[in-house]
Amino acid sequence: MTNDLSPIDRAKYIAARRSCDYVQSGMRVGLGTGSTAAWMVRCLGEMVREEGLDIVGVPTSTRTADLARQVGVPVVSLDEAKWLDVTIDGADEFDENLNLIKGGGGALLQEKIVATASDRMVVIADAAKEVRALGAFPLPVETVPFGWQTTKALVEETLVNMDVLGRESTLRMNDDVPFVTDEGNYIIDLHLHRIGNPRQLALVLNQIPGVVENGLFIDICDAVVIGHSDGRVEVR
Ligand code: 5RP
């Protein structure tokens, strides 16, 4: 199955497959979003269909919900599940403290809500996602559409007092129109290059009116399953 995959996709697939070891019958499982998480959802679907794995999944996006239904993973809402045993999701970057940048796929708000409502969050990633300092990947900030330009200006003003290397921000676009999240919001990507104090930045950003949530996941992730294209898997 993995023979046709590019090295990076093989690494994602291997991490995703290994992460399914964290899932047992009877569990309520948060289903992340993105290409790595999609492999995990397909793998769980296979386990449901072929091994009788008895789980319910709480998807973190409409994309993931569609895929889960398609591969046979029963789907419930977070309010139906109330609390989850484990959430498995991808990430755009992770550091040695297992802090993350997420939201490259635009699902950070539901992803953070679901991961926070879980006993355990397991991240699956290819080795290239590991960084010494977060911030090379643009930090997504989910923002209500009302007054977004004012919110963007406030965010940029706030960055002046933060330990970051860059301060440019851009509205995420989809073709020629703003990208709209599942919750009907916009995303402003912050090009910070290096974030010196992610914990402080995460707190400060969320205090700006108009900001709904940011893509820094601090003290939420419990383990990272890292896939390598040569077939090795590490768990941190
Ligand atoms: C979506 C996310 C994804 O998990 C993140 O962008 C990683 O995606 P991929 O597995 O495709 O590299 O946070 O909002």
pLDDT digit string, tens, across residues 154-209: 999 999 999 999 999 999 999 999 999 999 999 999 999 999 999 999 999 999 99
Q: How far apart are CA 230 and CA 178, in angstroms?
A: 39
C-beta 90 within 6 A of ligand 1: yes
pLDDT value at residue 104: 98
pLDDT value at residue 38: 98
Whether 73 and 55 have beta carbons less than 8 Å apart is answered as yes
Whether 28 and 51 have beta carbons less than 8 Å apart is answered as no
**Which string of DSSP letters, residue by residue, matches 162-191?**
SSBS--EEEE-EETTEE---TTS-EEEEEE
State in Å: Cα 93 to ligand 1 middle. 9
Work out the average pLDDT over 11-30: 98
Work out the average pLDDT over 208-216: 98
Ligand 1 mutation target, pool 6, 9, 93, 102, most atoms within 8 A of CB = 102
pLDDT digit string, tens, across residues 65-95: 999 999 999 999 999 999 999 999 999 999 9
Buried b / exposed e across 43-70, counting CB within 10 Å, b at 16+?
Answer: bbbbbbeeeebebbbbbbbebbbebbee
- Look at residue 132 and tell me whether its pLDDT is greater than 80: yes
Closest by CA to 62, choosing from 181, 189, 185, 217, is: 181
Q: How far apart are CA 193 and CA 7, in angstroms?
A: 26
pLDDT value at residue 214: 98
Q: How far apart are CA 88 and CA 66, in angstroms?
A: 17
- Look at residue 1 and tell me whether its pLDDT is greater than 70: no
Q: How far apart are CA 14 and CA 7, in angstroms?
A: 11
pLDDT value at residue 45: 98
C-beta 35 within 6 A of ligand 1: yes
Work out the average pLDDT over 139-154: 98
Q: How far apart are CA 116 and CA 183, in angstroms?
A: 18
Q: Tokens at residue 47, please? A: 């386990």
Query: Is 157 in the active site?
Result: no
- Look at residue 2 and tell me whether its pLDDT is greater than 70: no
pLDDT digit string, tens, across residues 95-114: 999 999 999 999 999 999 99
Whether 11 and 18 have beta carbons less than 8 Å apart is answered as no
Work out the average pLDDT over 19-33: 98
Closest by CA to 16, choosing from 107, 143, 104, 124, is: 124
State in Å: Cα 91 to ligand 1 middle. 5
Nearest atom within ligand 1 for CA of residue 108: 14
ipTM over 0.85: yes
Specify the pTM: 0.96
